[in-house]
Amino acid sequence: MNDRIKVEGAVFANTYKKAKNHPDFTGKIELSKALLKELVERAKANQDISVSVAMWDRTSKDGKIYKYVSVELPEIKEEEVEVFEAVKVRITQNKQGVYLVLNVHPDEVPEDLLRSWVGQRYYCAMVGIQEDETPVPHQPIRKKTSGQKYVDRAGIMAREKEFWEFAEVENEEDASEFIREFCNIHSRSELKNNEFAQILFDDINKKYNKWYEQNDK
């Protein structure tokens, strides 16, 4: 997102302050839908969330001194894209997903990839190379929406006996109910469009994966 999102408000001296623990100033800032949507997107992408706050002294029409407040969501700087050649060596699958093993020449390995922690997530784009060193022609495929992936993953998770052990339930029905209650939804299909439920599901999925690794499943 390139455009900065900004909301404004006002803070006045608290004329009703009667105790030390009462606030010195009170005010109101209305959050826009655009700001909330961007915050949700950044949370889903596991990005750091912070806002810039600025205040100026102002005087209202009736002579009251107040502070004009501006809250701004900073831009996210575009990261440089690392491009390198790799050869597919092996692909396997287990309860946690698909494991792809690539062979990369030492001179081709990006430094950031070597320095990052195990478990770091990446966006990947892969293009096949033909024998004449030209890219394999693109074959359009129908991709699932990110929302549908949440629905599918929740269904798979509810059928995994390891998840039953993690959630301390005895069957798929109870596991599904556990997921619905945790995500505050009535049906798994709500995960397709409910962004707040998706954030909650990401949380439970992360906890499940950590439990899975710690218990050497």
Within a domain: residue 205? Answer: yes
Q: What pLDDT, on a 0 to 100 scale, did the predictor assign at position 2?
A: 42
Q: What pLDDT, on a 0 to 100 scale, did the predictor assign at position 80?
A: 62
Q: What pLDDT, on a 0 to 100 scale, did the predictor assign at position 79?
A: 58
Within a domain: residue 166? Answer: yes
Within a domain: residue 161? Answer: yes
Q: What pLDDT, on a 0 to 100 scale, did the predictor assign at position 145?
A: 64
How would you class 191 by CB atoms within 10 Å of its CB: exposed for 0-12, middle for 13-18, buried for 19 or more? Answer: buried
From 73, 103, 126, the end of a domain falls on 73
Kindly tell me the sign of the dihedral angle through the C-alpha atoms of 150, 5, 34, 54. Answer: positive
User: Is the model more confident about 175 or about 134?
Assistant: 175
- Written as one string, the DSSP assignment of 140-154 is ---PPPHHHHHHHHH
| 158: helix, strand or coil | helix
From 73, 90, 109, the end of a domain falls on 73
Report the C-alpha gap between 159 and 211 in whole angstroms: 17
Over the stretch 141-165, which tens digit does the pLDDT of each residue have?
Answer: 555 567 888 999 999 999 999 999 9
What is the domain range of residue 27?
Answer: 5-73
Q: What pLDDT, on a 0 to 100 scale, did the predictor assign at position 36?
A: 86
Within a domain: residue 110? Answer: no
CB 151 within 8 A of CB 189: yes
For the chain, the average pLDDT equals: 84
Within a domain: residue 182? Answer: yes
Mean pLDDT computed over 195-200: 90
- Written as one string, the DSSP assignment of 54-74 is EEEEEE-TTS-EEEEEEEEEP
Over the stretch 30-41, which tens digit does the pLDDT of each residue have?
Answer: 888 888 888 888
Mean pLDDT computed over 9-35: 87
Predicted confidence band of residue 1 (pLDDT cuts 50, 70, 90): very low
Report the C-alpha gap between 190 and 147 in whole angstroms: 9
Within a domain: residue 97? Answer: no
**Per-residue b or e along 70-104, where b marks 16 or more CB atoms closer than 10 Å to that residue's CB:** ebebeeeeeeeeeeeeeeeeeeeeeeeeeeeeeee
Count of domains observed in the chain: 2
User: Is the model more confident about 75 or about 2?
Assistant: 75
Within a domain: residue 130? Answer: no
Q: Any bridge partners for residue 100, and if so which?
A: 91
Within a domain: residue 100? Answer: no
Kindly tell me the sign of the dihedral angle through the C-alpha atoms of 155, 156, 161, 164. Answer: negative
Over the stretch 84-133, which tens digit does the pLDDT of each residue have?
Answer: 889 888 888 776 778 888 898 888 888 888 888 887 888 788 888 888 88
Nearest to 6 by CA among 42, 31, 26: 31
**C-alpha torsion 114→47→125→152, nearest 10:** 120
From 31, 55, 73, the end of a domain falls on 73
User: Is the model more confident about 180 or about 63?
Assistant: 180
CB 71 within 8 A of CB 51: yes
